[in-house]
Amino acid sequence: MAKRARSDQLRPVIDWPARLLLAVVMITANVAGTIGTVVFAVWALPKGPLPDPDRVLLLNLVLVASYLVVVVPLALLWIALRFRARVDDAPQERQLVLHGPLRVSQVLMVTWGLATVLFGAVNSTFSVRLGLAIAETWLVGGITTCALCYLLAERILRRAASRVLAGNPPRPRFKASVLLRPVLFWMLGTAVPVSGLLVSGGSALVYGDVPAEQLAILMLAGGGVALLMGFLTTVGAARAVADPVRTVRLALQQVERGDLDVSVPVYDATELGQLQAGFNTMAGGLRERERISDLFGRHVGRDVARAATATDEVQLGGEVRTVAILFVDLVGSTPLAAERSPTEVVALLNRFFGVVVEVVEACGGWINKFEGDAALAVFGAPEDIDDPAGRALAAAREMAVRLANEVPEAFAGIGVSAGDAVAGYVGGVRRYEYTVIGDPVNEAARLTELAKTVPGLVLAARNAVTLAANAEARHWVIGDAVTLRGRNTPTRLASPLPWNGRRDAPGSVPEGASAS
């Protein structure tokens, strides 16, 4: 029961700064509209013969002041009550905020309508012509003031509209609502004042008692009011259309610069609001696409991801390419797993692979796959790079140095080979991967096994050094030929020149020893 009673309570749907600003704007606009209406009626309006003009003027001024003192506070209270919704009633809150400018204008239409009837009736007791002219003046002043207040209220309520429209795009009832807005405000701000001016001129012609000077004043004053009010309402309506478009344009410029973490507030209930919401949806899709692309690149490699997304359809199979292969594998991973907890092993592997990935990518290669405590890096596929063999050899030397300095508790053998291999997609139509198959891959893996037993923990095939540019080849020395495990032909070995801090694997054999 307590919860139900609480949900029946009413609360304001706009915050107090917006309510205060709305009250100040409404008071200012309506007082200014009233003063302008009174000045126009006193100065320019044809009144016809009156028995006591001063008495009529004084009575109208007192009546206007009294009307403002009484009606303005009541109108503000009425507006405040019309912006109260039940607690936890989101649909009602959304409706109140989105129709807020109209609800404000409706209250003002009632107050100005009452003023039109009241002042027209009072002045009709002195002269029917005067009563009709006064009523017409108040009607025109009320319509233009209500139009301006609508535009002002719309701007004040933008933040509240953005809040209620968050995650719930607007669905305008009329497809031409954006087109109707400027036309409607042209009618209210320009057509109505001009129509009033035409009626006044026609009345002067019918009665024929308006002096030329008075008629000129009427035309000048009425024309000036029509120009001013038309300008204000047209600018307001244009801004109401231009502001959402401008925010979207600026946000698009940020997207063009690569900033996808951008959104625009949705505060318009017309197609412009749909434009704002559509941009946010687009930006969200781009962010999601970027996230998926980043995850895709992390799983298969940046180069493979770019190559895969550059084509509409991936074809299974491959092509022969000259590539360089770097294989790195930890020494003694089985005892390591037995002596340490799984958490420690994973932490060590992450540090180890962190260095491997950073060095390989810095040298222009990519990690084709992780195999337990080993990694296979490819240089020269799927994208062509200059000197793939030299890059792989440089990566091997740099990796050995960094692993010794940054992961000193781990030893890893590093093998490098180069030559022709088939690079492409293998698997089935529902699941495939990009990989490199060929003799350089097998040779690099066997070289890694042998590298675990030699000082420096790094070995390369002579073919890799031969294919490398001189800038990198001079850092390597050619050694003996060795028949690697599982191979029939011997492989001529190459080792990097000695470097300070060189370390040997546990149980390493003397340099130059053969393995078969």
329 neighbors 413 (Cβ within 8 angstroms): yes
Token code pair at residue 418: 């180069």
Strand 374-379 versus strand 84-86 pairing type: unpaired
- For 418, the 3-state DSSP assignment is strand
**Which residues lie closer than 8 Å to 405 by C-beta, 6 or more apart?**
501
Helix or strand or coil: residue 208? Answer: coil
Sign of CA dihedral 190, 234, 29, 163: positive
CATH architecture of 314-496: 2-Layer Sandwich (3.30)
Residue 226 has pLDDT above 80, yes or no: no
Buried b / exposed e across 199-233, counting CB within 10 Å, b at 16+? Answer: ebbebbeeeeebeeeebebbeebbeebbeebbebb
**Distance between CA atoms of residues 299 and 484, nearest Å:** 31
For the chain, how far is it from start to end, CA to CA, in angstroms? 87
> Is the CB of residue 161 less than 8 Å from the CB of residue 269?
yes
Tens digit of each residue's pLDDT (9 = 90 or more) over 280-315? 788 888 888 777 666 655 555 555 555 555 555 555
CATH 3.30.70.1230 in the chain, residue ranges: 314-496
Between 8-17, 325-334, 417-426, the lowest mean confidence (pLDDT) is in 8-17
CB count within 10 Å of CB 386 equals 9
Q: Which two tokens stand for residue 507?
A: 């149980």
Written as one string, the DSSP assignment of 334-377 is HHHHHHS-HHHHHHHHHHHHHHHHHHHHHTT-EEEEEETTEEEE
Cβ–Cβ < 8 Å for 55, 130 = no
Local confidence band at 36 (pLDDT 50, 70, 90 cut-offs): confident
pLDDT band at residue 510 under the 50/70/90 scheme: very low
Closest by alpha carbon to 74, among 30, 18, 118? Answer: 30
- Summary mean pLDDT of the chain: 79
Joined tokens for residue 215: 């008629």
* 294, HSE (Cβ side, Cα atoms, 13 Å): 6
Q: Distance between CA atoms of 287 and 269, rounded to whole angstroms? A: 26
- Which of 196-210, 260-274, 358-372 is predicted with the least confidence, judged by mean pLDDT? 196-210
Residue 60 pLDDT exceeds 70? yes
> 479 Cβ partners below 8 Å, 6+ apart?
492, 493, 494, 495, 512
DSSP state of 508: P
DSSP β-ladder status, 476-482 and 432-437: unpaired
Rg (CA), the chain: 42
Among 336-345, 425-434, 460-469, 504-513, the range with the most confident prediction by mean pLDDT is 460-469
Q: Give the separation between CA 340 and CA 345, rounded to whole angstroms.
A: 6
325 close to 376: Cβ distance less than 8 angstroms: yes
pLDDT of residue 308: 52
pLDDT score at 511: 41
d(CA 392, CA 412): 16
pLDDT tens string 78-102? 988 888 887 777 778 878 888 888 8
Whole-prediction pTM: 0.56
Contact 83/98 with Cβ under 8 angstroms?
no
Burial-class residue 165 by CB neighbours within 10 Å (0-12, 13-18, 19+).
buried
